[in-house]
């Protein structure tokens, strides 16, 4: 498709993943070549099913959904039902999906697509633990120079951790995979908690989704009504951070975000700081700058984009 940016979304839905996927499927600038599910917020049996449910909610049943890693590379799976509910998509009552998963394993789909397509034409958009991405890079290192960019949600620095005092959930669940990705040499745009904690829902913003009146808007309002209850109590605010849609919004309107090129390294040795994303924000080392780390977002414009796009579904 001429002019469209071709992306693969790797995801562990998760209500915020769902909003990101809906935004992508509602945006004509993007072509979703595939959605790959990974274990994270909830086990793989739920994340793969949730990805199908979200495609049906968007009315995009032609979307190809692949199932991927059932656990991290080295560590046992840590999930977040306390935030996302048992199914990972608590809130709306979405029907069991009629769509079926693709037969191909997600990692093989990622490798095959990158080896078959013109170099520099596929952008990877990880929204969960980086297990599938790391497995693809290990299985076929030749894909690294063929990836246009990796735009991911993960990590934290000034905002510190949300699953441990020092680590953000996606990186913490599979720190070894994150280490593989950040050492890959692939251009990375990183959306850490430092920026996603500035994209906060509110009663008015949830009401704006509900006021769309379409299935997607109402379902998103119900999803956020569920997932933000945890964040409101934890951060004592009026709403919760909308992490994953920052990745897709960046592809649509990069000017909404600002940050800087930094060196980012991942802690994989110390249990105390396991999964910490050590970001050299002030450039106090001569380590290679391997990621553009975002720290600011125009949150009014971000939510306006979300509402306008979800209204198209």
Residues that bind Ca ion (CB under 5 A): 12, 14, 17, 127-128, 244
CB of 248 vs ligand RIB, minimal distance in Å: 12
To the query of whether residue 197 is one of the catalytic residues in this protein, the response is no
Question: Which of the listed partners (Ca ion, ligand RIB, none) does 313 bind, with a CB threshold of 5 to 8 Å by partner kind?
Answer: none
Cβ-contact 104, 207 below 8 angstroms: no
CB of 129 vs ligand RIB, minimal distance in Å: 7
Calculate the dihedral angle through the C-alpha atoms of 232, 94, 32, 262, rounding to the nearest 10 degrees.
20
CB of 259 vs Ca ion, minimal distance in Å: 20
At residue 188, the 3 state secondary structure works out as strand
Question: Which of the listed partners (Ca ion, ligand RIB, none) does 225 bind, with a CB threshold of 5 to 8 Å by partner kind?
Answer: none
Counting Cα atoms < 13 Å in the Cβ hemisphere of 100 gives: 3
d(CA 95, CA 97): 6
Question: Which of the listed partners (ligand RIB, Ca ion, none) does 168 bind, with a CB threshold of 5 to 8 Å by partner kind?
Answer: ligand RIB
Residue 185 pairs in a beta bridge with none
CB of 41 vs Ca ion, minimal distance in Å: 6
Residues 6+ apart with CB under 8 A from 263: 279, 280, 285, 287, 288, 289, 290, 291
- What are the structure tokens assigned to 98, written together? 């009629």
Q: Which chain residues interact with ligand RIB by CB under 6 A?
A: 12, 14, 16-17, 40-41, 127-128, 153, 162, 168-170, 243-244
Catalytically annotated residue among 82, 176, 197, 243: 243
What is the set of active-site residues?
Answer: 243
């Amino acid at each position: 498709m001429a002019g469209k940016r071709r992306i693969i979304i790797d995801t562990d839905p998760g209500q915020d993943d769902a909003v990101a996927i809906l935004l992508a499927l509602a945006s004509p600038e993007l072509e979703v070549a595939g959605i790959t599910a990974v274990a994270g917020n909830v086990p793989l049996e739920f994340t793969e099913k949730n990805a199908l449910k979200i495609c049906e909610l968007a009315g995009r049943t032609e979307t190809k959904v692949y199932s991927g890693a059932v656990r991290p590379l080295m560590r046992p799976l840590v999930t977040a039902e306390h935030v996302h509910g048992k199914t990972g998509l608590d809130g709306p009552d979405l029907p069991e999906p009629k769509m079926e998963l693709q037969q191909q394993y997600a990692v093989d789909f990622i490798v095959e697509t990158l080896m078959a397509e013109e170099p520099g034409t596929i952008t990877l958009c990880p929204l969960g633990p980086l297990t599938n991405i790391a497995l693809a890079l290990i299985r076929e290192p030749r894909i690294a120079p063929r990836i246009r960019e990796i735009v991911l949600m993960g990590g934290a620095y000034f905002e510190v951790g949300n699953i441990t005092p020092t680590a953000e959930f996606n990186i913490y669940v599979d720190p070894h995979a994150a280490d593989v990705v950040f050492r890959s040499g692939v251009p990375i745009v990183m959306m850490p908690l430092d920026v996603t904690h500035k994209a906060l829902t509110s009663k008015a913003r949830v009401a704006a989704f509900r006021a769309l009146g379409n299935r997607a808007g109402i379902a998103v309002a119900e999803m956020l009504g569920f997932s933000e209850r945890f964040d409101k109590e934890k951060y004592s605010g009026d709403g919760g951070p909308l992490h994953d849609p920052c990745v897709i919004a960046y592809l649509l309107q990069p000017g909404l975000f600002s940050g800087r090129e930094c060196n980012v390294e991942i802690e994989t040795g110390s249990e105390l700081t396991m999964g910490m994303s050590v970001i050299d924000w002030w450039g106090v080392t001569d380590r290679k700058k391997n990621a553009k780390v975002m720290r600011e977002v125009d949150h009014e414009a971000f939510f306006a984009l979300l509402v306008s796009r979800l209204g198209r579904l």
